[in-house]
Amino acid sequence: MALCQLRNVKKIYPMGDLEVQALRGVDLTIEKGEFTVIAGPSGSGKSTVLNLIGCLDRPSVGEVFLEDKPVAKMGDTELGQLRAARIGFIFQSFNLIPVLTAFENVELALRLAGYTDGNKARVERALADVGLGDHMQRRPAQLSGGQQQRVAIARALVKAPALVIADEPTANLDSHNGKAILELMREMNARDGVTFLFSTHDAMVMEQAKRVVRLVDGLIVDDTVRPAVQAGSAS
């Protein structure tokens, strides 16, 4: 069973009297356990692909499947629940809630995913896993950029999602922190089999990917599965 699939997907954004063809017919299948990067120039459609796979948006043409279910047939409530429970998001600008502590940010994701019992232990484990066991009571402004992105990773992973989507997760980090964050995600992929789908401009991220899908002008121009890359080789 494919984890998610885009079939002949087009995305057209209206712009006044004009329209922007962000995706012009994309077929993409992501299998469980993949560690895939979507690469391509600015404006090529990377974020659009991630938003469609993450069900943050719907296609203009074509179909999106999540765990073999057609997304088009789901109502907004069902889709919202599926997204909260099965997909973790990591954003370039972290998107933590500023008034909540690291613990509370992670716990909120669990509650939105429908977890009611055992949350404290789950949150503590997720934050310890990203090396923030001693910083759980800090708010985002009291953490460095790298630490904030670790909270975002803990928030994405705490609910044991089927898929983690990361839109340029290292873009706001220096190269040292970017490497450390990437290594952490590689370890989680290798250890727990978490499926990751990224977009990036960063050559270091691309080198670590098992599969690189290249987009140009809304079309996939290359899709390469690379020989095994070992977790921990990002240094």
Partner in contact with 88, chosen from ligand ATP, Mg ion, none, beta carbon below 5 to 8 Å by kind:
none
How far CA 14 is from CA of 18, 54, 201, in Å, comes to: 6, 21, 26
How far CA 154 is from CA of 63, 101, 107, in Å, comes to: 30, 13, 10
Of 194, 190, 189, the residue nearest 86 (C-alpha):
194
As a whole number of angstroms, the distance between CA 44 and CA 49 comes to: 10
The CB-of-171 to Mg ion minimum distance in angstroms stands at 9
The verdict on 2 binding ligand ATP (CB under 6 A) reads no
Interface with ligand ATP: number of residues (CB under 6 A)? 12
Q: Which helix (DSSP H) or strand (DSSP E) does residue 104 occupy?
A: helix 102-112
The CB-of-58 to ligand ATP minimum distance in angstroms stands at 13
Residue 47 or 189 having the CB closest to Mg ion: 47
The verdict on 47 binding Mg ion (CB under 5 A) reads yes
The CB-of-218 to Mg ion minimum distance in angstroms stands at 13
Sort strands 163-167 and 18-30 into parallel, antiparallel or unpaired. unpaired
CB-nearest residue to Mg ion? 47
Of 58, 8, 56, 57, the residue nearest 28 (C-alpha):
8
The verdict on 48 binding Mg ion (CB under 5 A) reads no
The CB-of-21 to ligand ATP minimum distance in angstroms stands at 8
Asked whether 122 and 158 are in contact (CB, 8 A), the reply is yes
Partner in contact with 149, chosen from Mg ion, ligand ATP, none, beta carbon below 5 to 8 Å by kind:
none
User: Within 35-74, which residues bind ligand ATP (CB under 6 A)?
Assistant: 40, 42-48
Partner in contact with 230, chosen from ligand ATP, Mg ion, none, beta carbon below 5 to 8 Å by kind:
none
Angle, helices 119-129 vs 145-157, to 10°: value is 130
The verdict on 97 binding ligand ATP (CB under 6 A) reads no
Largest CA distance in the chain: 54
Token pair, residue 107, equals 């716990």
Partner in contact with 169, chosen from ligand ATP, Mg ion, none, beta carbon below 5 to 8 Å by kind:
none
The verdict on 189 binding Mg ion (CB under 5 A) reads no
Positions touching ligand ATP (CB under 6 A) are: 13, 15, 20, 22, 40, 42-48
Positions touching Mg ion (CB under 5 A) are: 46-47
